Each structure stands twice: as structure tokens, then as C-alpha cells.
Amino acid sequence: MPTTKALPRTFKCLTVPISILLLSTTPSNADDTPAFSFSANATLASDYRFRGISLSDKDIALQGGFDIASKSGFYVGAWGSSIEQFAGSELELDVYGGYTTNLNNLNFDIGILAYTYPGSDNTTYWEAYSSVAGSLSELGWTIGGAYAFDQSNIGNNDNLYLYLDTSTPLGNSKLTFTTHLGYEDGAFGDDKFDWSAGLSYDLDKFTLGISYIDTNTNTREGKAGVIASISSAF
């Protein structure tokens, strides 16, 4: 969120909206891929953590989004979450577009995202993102970054965020172990780190998740916490 807020925006993961992560794992050059495809997702979380910081005042958050993807690899989408009241808004709505492709068993994703807060004024800001994802045996990994250029709504400063995500299935148990490490510097963080470790359980139509999240900040919103969630993609 803009630096004028008492609790500056310093997530979605979530580092990137769930819808982007789901989309980026889908091959764009498969012969049976339709010209256009639609996907959506919904999540109920015990706290909305963005890059380790709670944006829902450690309260329950309702989240959801959708994507429209073309066979060529281009996509557009939107994702929203309930948040602590900010400048008259209680909703974060992210609108994004980008391009994803597979090359040599690696998935590349690049795009631009607008953070908006309906009902508020002079709060929208933009961020470019990119990532590369692959696997090493059973270990899936994603390395990515996001850059918000100088903008008046973030204090005429820029912001850089870098991250590494991993996921490992635990045998045939339908459990997946996930980790995240992020680094941020600029408008929303000063040599800030965030990290998490968690488990997700696949229930076919739903996914249950629990994770431990912490940062090196001394704020209440950045203190360690255990976050539970239930989500569905369709």
C-alpha cells in the first residue's frame, strides 16, 4: 500500500496472486490447448499476509480471482482480497496482464500489475514482475522478482522484491511441503526479509493449507504467525 498508510504495503503471495501461479504452470504450447481458456480461484484465509506483512489486521480474509489466457501465452486477470480499511477502502483489487512460455523445461513469466483500492483516491500504483520456474527431481522451484518504479502514490520512491519458492510432494500422501524466502528494499521495506514454511493438502476440489510466516521487522503486522487457509481453483 502507499507509504502514506500507517501500515505500508510490504503480498500475494502470497508473493504473486494465486491465479498467476496456477496459470504459469500450464504449458502454453500444448496441441490440445484451446485458443482461449478461463480459470478462477477462491480462498478463505485466517490472515492476509503479503510479503510477510498482515494487510487484514490479522483478521480473516476472503480472496478470489480469475484469468483469461490465450494459447499464445498472453493472459490477463484480476485478483482481490478483503483488507484492513485503507484510505476509505476495504478491498484490494489487483489487475494484471503478461506472457508465459515454456523453454527447455523451464517456465518463464513476465507481466505488469496494478494495485488498486476501490473507494479510495490517489492510491493506485504499478509493479512489473517476472519469474522462472522449474523442477529438480521432486523439488519444484520458482525464482522471481517484482519492481515498482518511482510513483507519486508510493512516495516518489521505487521498490524491489526478490523471492525463491519451493514445493515438494510428500510421497503419495497428497501433502506438499512449501517454503518461501523474500527480500525487499525501497518504498515498502529497508533490507526486509520474509520467510515461510508450510503444508498443503489436496482434497480434489479444495486445498487446505497451513504455514508459519515471519519477517525481520519489529511491527505487529510483521510478527510471526501461523496462517490457515482453504482454497479452490476451477
The tens digit of pLDDT for each residue in 114-149 reads 999 999 999 999 999 999 999 999 999 999 999 999
Question: Which class in CATH covers the domain with range 18-233?
Answer: mainly beta
Give me 9's grid cell. Answer: 504495503
Distance, in Å, from the CA atom of 132 to the CA atom of 109, rounded to the nearest integer, reads 6
Distance, in Å, from the CA atom of 217 to the CA atom of 191, rounded to the nearest integer, reads 10
Write down the pLDDT at residue 24: 39
Write down the pLDDT at residue 32: 73
Write down the pLDDT at residue 179: 98
Write down the pLDDT at residue 42: 98
Q: Where are the domains of the chain?
A: 18-233
* pTM recorded for the entire structure: 0.87
Write down the pLDDT at residue 59: 97
Q: Which residues of the chain have pLDDT under 50?
A: 1-30
Cβ–Cβ < 8 Å for 84, 7: yes
Write down the pLDDT at residue 2: 39
Give me Rg for the CA atoms of the chain.
17
